[in-house]
Amino acid sequence: EAGVTQFPSHSVIEKGQTVTLRCDPISGHDNLYWYRRVMGKEIKFLLHFVKESKQDESGMPNNRFLAERTGGTYSTLKVQPAELEDSGVYFCASSQEGGLAGGPTDTQYFGPGTRLTVL
């Protein structure tokens, strides 16, 4: 069974440009999450989809970030326009169980991340 995949693995862009990150969750997983790790800091939650709906987007830093999950399969995270402080590693994760309070077996499986560098 394929794991969570993310594309691209690395992206280097200039300040002001637009970048779109893609995440393909494990097949059949309704829950999809985005997290980010800025250099030297902890991994932080960005948002959570249940199928195509945004369940929790409390971690999105500002309106330059737009996440979508059309059809409830893969997800994209667009940063427009990118700023220097957006540099970091963006992780995607997926899990099987859904609902507002996931059960104790709701393990989140992570992708390898996309390393974004904004110059």
Partner 1 sequence: AQSVTQLGSHVSVSEGALVLLRCNYSSSVPPYLFWYVQYPNQGLQLLLKYTSAATLVKGINGFEAEFKKSETSFHLTKPSAHMSDAAEYFCAVRRRDAGNMLTFGGGTRLMVKP
- Residues binding partner 1 (CB under 8 A): 3-4, 31, 33, 35, 41-45, 48, 55-56, 58-59, 91, 93, 95, 100-102, 104-113
Smaller CB separation from partner 1, 75 or 95:
95
CB of 93 to partner 1, least distance (A): 8
Return all residues near 29 (Cβ < 8 A) that are at least 6 apart.
94, 95, 96, 109
For residues 99 and 97, what is the distance between their CA atoms, to the nearest angstrom?
7
The pair of three-digit structure tokens given for residue 45, joined into one six-digit string: 């939650």
The smaller minimum CB distance to partner 1, of residues 53 and 107, is found at 107
As measured in angstroms, the least distance from the Cβ of 7 to partner 1 is 13
24 vs 82 by CB, closer to partner 1: 24
Query: What torsion, rounded to 10 degrees, do the Cα atoms 46, 50, 52, 56 define?
Result: -40
**Smallest separation (angstroms) from partner 1 to the CB of 110:** 4
Residue bearing tokens 């993310």 = 6
